[in-house]
Structures are given as structure tokens and as C-alpha cells.
Amino acid sequence: MRWFWLVVVSVSLFFSAASWAERKGWQAFEHSQQAVQNKNFDVSYVVFKGDQVTSFRWLHGLTDTQQLEQLIPLDADGVDILRQDNIVYYFTPDKPALVTLSPFIKELPALFYKSIDDLSQLYDPVSGSVSQVGGRSAQLLRLTAFHPGRLNYWLWLDVETGFPIRIDTVSENQQVLERWQVTHFLLTSTLPEPLQGVLDMKLPVPDMRRLQRPDNPELVSDYQLAWLPSGFRKVDDPYFIPRLGSPLLNYWLLTDGLHQVSVFVQRSNQVPAQAYRDGATTIYVQSNEQIDITVIGPVTLDIAQQIADAVRYD
């Protein structure tokens, strides 16, 4: 009997420790989210995708009446993005500004804008050691996916401020697919100086009627998607359905609350099966005599193949 109670106590202590570690992990992540969303800062960072390296300057600030954010490409080509509260402007030389509605700039890491309640359904947070990253002490936090075929994230969070200094997107076999890393980091007590000039800019006045849901092409077909990866669901009414050169027979947008996977069905070009990886994004094309199926999203090749195999003609 004594051994029985020892086992019960040991199991209880194990689960209590695991629960405590999970709460501590999410607390560290929440601290990082608050730094990204509620601080004034001027940050430069680089993104590594295979042999590609792109660099950006990221500015964020709060005034008494509004939130301002700007993402500036530091390479020759790129689009200057400005967010004023929930209105996002895309500025390209010699073209009218593109205006959209969003509470954050979608080209930034989406992790820091999703609720912890949603993320905790997808990942288990595990704290690691403290190390030096870019000359600053940073706490490692691993977000390990519950479901197979899903990518993991390793985050290094500045010990002093909680701000993310480095984010690795990691495959199931621990291969780093993408790396996001800060190269210059400055927190300020007031709105960063470059954003001061934004207050005096004459920004295009958005036509709120044109910012509503666009008219999507009507897709009527007998093609069905018979299987979804664990944790994913279909978006019933996608905000935007791509218009491609070849007409779409069907289109599905899948989401797990953080990532999105697009599935296209088109008439067949009878090409061999093709698979590519752009950083963390898999692009998989499957073809037969009737249709081409293209799957694009941050999932493993195995999951992309299973999605394509699940397209049925009913």
C-alpha cells in the first residue's frame, strides 16, 4: 500500500511540475507579446530562407490617440508598409497606395498577434537556457507542436525586456527552415523619431466601402476535400479567392488559427508531381489526367501530399 501512495504522489508531483512549467512558458511568451504590441521601438532584423537574406527596419509607437507601425525593406526592392491603428497602407513607387484593414502588419511574425488560448491548443511551451544573442542575454523558449506534420518554433526572448531577438522555424527533424533575427534593437520612451513625421503625412483617405469583403468568383463544383490535418479546419468564406491564369475548379483555405494552407484544383496540364520549399512554406503540385491539385502552406511535404490525395470528385 505504501508503494501505491508513493506512485500516486510521484505522478501528482510530475503533472504539477509540468503544469507549472507550461504556465511559466506562456507567461514568458505573453511578456514578449506585450513588448511587441505595447512598446515604442526601432528595430532592424533579417530573415534567412535558404540562400535568401532580406532585411527590414521595424518601427512601432503609441500616441495618446493612435498606434503607428512601419515596416521598411532595407533591400533595393520592396514595399514600404505603414499601419495606423487598423488601417494598413502598402506604398510602392509610382503606384497608388494599396489600403487594407488589419490589426497588425501581416508580413510580421503572426505568433505575436494570436491569443495564447488559441496557441495553447497547438503548442507546448518549453523553456531552455539563457544565452547571448546579438550581444544580449536571451531566454530560449521552444514551442513544440502537438500535431504531427506541424512546424515548431524556437524563440530567443530578451531577458531584460521580453522582446523577441531571434525566431527559428523548425521542422520535425530539428532542421531550421527559416530564421528571423534582430540586428539592431532600441526601445524608446516616446514615439520613435521617424514615426513623428508620419503624424504630419497626408495619407490617402480610405474608401471604407471598397475595404469591405471583395466579390469573390463563385465556385460551383463536385470536388470535395475528404481529409484535413489534425487541428485544421476549412475557412467557410475566405476573404479572398485568388484569380489565377487557369480557371479554378475549386479552392479551399485551411487554418489552424495561426497558419493558412491553400488548396487549388484546376484543369490538368498533365505535368509530373512537383514539390518545392520556400523557407517554411511547402509548395506541392499533384497532377492526373483530369485535374492539377496545388497545396501551398507551412506544413510538411507528407501532409501536403495527404491533402492532395484527399481531393475527391463526388
pLDDT value at residue 275: 93
pLDDT value at residue 38: 94
Q: Which of 133, 168, 200 is the last residue of a domain?
A: 200
Domain ranges, residue 251: 223-313
CA distance 8 to 3: 9
Both 189 and 46 in one domain: the answer is yes
The grid cell for 267 is 484543369
CATH for 41:
2.50.20.10
Q: Which residues of 161-199 are buried (b: 16+ CB within 10 A; e: fewer)?
A: bbbbbbbbbbeeeeeebbbbbbeebebeeebbeebeebe
207 is a domain residue: no
pLDDT value at residue 17: 42
Both 252 and 177 in one domain: the answer is no
pLDDT value at residue 203: 83
217 is a domain residue: no
Both 38 and 117 in one domain: the answer is yes
CA distance 87 to 154: 31
User: Cell 547571448 sits at which residue?
Assistant: 132
CA-nearest of 189, 143, 148, 199 to 306 is 148
How many domains are there within the chain? 2
Instruction: Report whether 125 contacts 154 (CB < 8 A).
Output: no
CA dihedral 81, 83, 86, 88 (to 10 degrees): -20
Both 20 and 79 in one domain: the answer is yes
pLDDT value at residue 15: 41
230 is a domain residue: yes
- Which parts of the chain have pLDDT scores under 50? 6-18, 20
272 is a domain residue: yes
The pLDDT > 70 percentage for the chain reads 85
Both 135 and 187 in one domain: the answer is yes
Both 162 and 195 in one domain: the answer is yes
2 is a domain residue: no
Both 182 and 228 in one domain: the answer is no
pLDDT value at residue 101: 85
Both 227 and 192 in one domain: the answer is no
Both 176 and 256 in one domain: the answer is no
Instruction: Report whether 157 contacts 148 (CB < 8 A).
Output: no
pLDDT value at residue 20: 46
Both 119 and 259 in one domain: the answer is no
